[in-house]
Structure 1
């Protein structure tokens, strides 16, 4: 089945959106369809190999798998025996949630699709190498994708993806399936940056048909003469599972540090935007950062959402831990 022709009914709309984005990258003056490959059946069991080309099920971009991560997913929507005992607690901070192992993938995003993605494409950041530096360095076009969001496809092109790291990390092997395999550069980069790239915990919760997914990452510690500052980044995805359009209006965070402090943060929107989640564009993803003067802490909060019929509600952000890791003093981060 050709990639631009069709899919099953549940995927037709997503596929159509992808094809339009691809065509708009090629020309802003007119629209034309161009075949980029042929879809394969998504894997129900097993993992995708390094070099697997795919379309993102939600955001529609073209990408390639670099390597997998095994993460613990804490889904607060899944009932458990103690859930009913904690329903009175609005933020569900004390609710016991059992983690389930799930596969995610480190991927590269095709740079031609980046302008049309409702997600930050420079979300994976690293601290500067100097101990006193607070500078953040981003690797453009790097993302984390859940197994169920991978729509695999094949192509006969030797250069199917445009990304500055594609040739550095992958090599073409015409007799392999997929025909792209890892170079030693990729293995070395993965090993060196493993502590800062590692995806270990994922947290999910749904309120009024709006699902919030949070993935925290430890970035490292920066020390001065007086204090030690620990840094984390966190990736948040909002997805509208209902039929009515909703818009994010405000954010409200509670940040607890092991040092004993509790900080409250309120503000309009997120990362300078008040994203609209509609049936045609149901998802939005962004990343931000937090620092503590303690090696661990917790975060939780709410997003104030406004529905198209005027109804407003607080969408819960699932509580998540901020945990530090031991560091190699001689290591550098983010360098290719």
Structure 2
């Protein structure tokens, strides 16, 4: 079975029939099969493993992303509170959204490395293959990025194993992980990874995830506090937020506009309206059902919240609004030094 394009998705309901099947890569696409297809120049990637229904995947677990199709490896897990308005309906509040009293359920997410060979192929579907930080100097708006990092939900992971000692191409792979054939998975954390995680924990930590579905379009938001800077005798607090848009239906739709409301504890309420997101107006279809991106926001107060809508267009030209679940922007109780960059 050839999976079209350079990215693919696999229904979890079919996965019980897929595990223990060899994964091959051909040019910019993946092929799954018990037998190597004839007449194709293929490179074996690995063999699928059974999904982990209970517990979590360990550091060093190889996986394919079930939505975006890239090869990756787990660095370490995070335990986040998932606020899902689809399963926790609440009465509308003054913003027209569900009440903030939606109860969070603990859910496992992972910090992962993405194989750099796959990054070019996911660039049209995912703009979050880099984690940004505040730069360590006086410019309060300066950012730097570590490419090839992502946050992945437990259900996004299709685990596989490989006999290669360096199965993932990324400049941090061998700095963070080492091969140990006596372990399962056979890749273990180096001291460099543990030190980097501990030092950058406040800026990497994923704590809250917000999710809501409108007319089969699911919006998932993950906010991250980035730190505080002083600018013109005032404090500026920075956050980044990652948003995934998923089309759960069969209808082809295109994102046209975004409309944000940003409330700051200082008492200000800002409205932001514009075309598309990150310069794109992605089309969501059955073939390419998801798009994700990240952006940044700053406030002159240590907390606030955001909410809004995305305007989508159907193929017949009609439009509809998709709710962005309201989410809090909270600063850490204590500010630490800016994060460190690449380990030496």
The two structures have a TM-score, normalised by structure 2, of 0.87
| Cα root mean square deviation, aligned | 2.5
Paired residues of 2:254 and 2:283 also in contact (CA < 8 A) = yes
Relative to the length of structure 1, the TM-score reads: 0.89
SS in 2 for 1:289: strand
- 1:107-126 correspondence to structure 2 within 5 Å: 107-117=112-122, 118-126=125-133
Is contact 1:196–1:333 with CA below 8 Å preserved after alignment? no
Do the aligned partners of 1:23 and 1:34 also contact (CA within 8 Å) in 2? no
Tell me the distance in 1 between the aligned counterparts of 2:95 and 2:140. 39
Distance 1:331 1:115, change over 3 A: closer
The answer to whether the aligner puts 1:279 opposite 2:258 as a matched pair is no
Residue matched to 1:92? 97
Structure 2 CA distance for partners of 1:264 and 1:289, relative to 1, 3 Å? same
Question: Which of 24, 28, 31 is the aligned partner of 2:28?
Answer: 24
Which residue does 2:74 correspond to in 1?
65
Check whether the contact 1:192–1:331 (CA below 8 A) recurs between aligned residues.
Answer: no
Superposition deviation, residue 309 in structure 1? 3.0
- Offset at 1:311? 2.7
Q: Judging changes above 3 Å, is the alpha-carbon distance between structure 1 residues 245 and 75 closer, same or farther for their aligned structure 2 residues?
A: same
What runs of 5+ residues in structure 1 fail to find an aligned partner? none
- How far did residue 303 of structure 1 move? 0.2
Flag the structure with higher strand content: 2
Per the alignment, in what secondary structure is the counterpart of residue 195 of structure 1? helix
Measured against aligned partners, the alpha-carbon deviations of 1:238-291 in whole angstroms (never above 9, x if no partner) come to: 000000111000000000000000000000000000000000110000000000
SS of the residue corresponding to residue 174 of structure 2 reads helix
Q: Give yes or no for the alignment of 1:141 onto 2:137.
A: no
Aligned 8 A contact 1:20 1:31 in 2: no
Return closer, same or farther for 1:129/1:58 CA change in 2, 3 Å cut-off: same
| Aligned 8 A contact 2:25 2:44 in 1 | no
Where does residue 320 of structure 2 map in the other structure? 313
- Aligned partner (choices 258, 272, 285) of residue 251 of structure 1: 258
Q: Is residue 323 of structure 1 aligned with residue 330 of structure 2?
A: yes
Q: What number of residue pairs does the alignment pair up? A: 321
> Could you list the per-position Cα deviations for residues 132-180 of structure 1 after superposition, in whole angstroms to 9, with x for gaps in the alignment?
4421010100000000110000010111000000000000001111110
Which residue is equivalent to 2:111?
106
- Which stretch of structure 1 is more off in the superposition, 54-63 or 302-311? 302-311
The whole-number CA distance in structure 1 between the counterparts of 2:10 and 2:275 is 39
Give yes or no for the alignment of 1:36 onto 2:45.
yes
Query: Which of residues 237, 241, 248 in structure 2 aligns to 1:234?
Result: 241
The aligned counterpart of 1:54 is 63
Deviation of the 1:33 alpha carbon: 3.6
Match of 1:222 among 224, 229, 243: 229
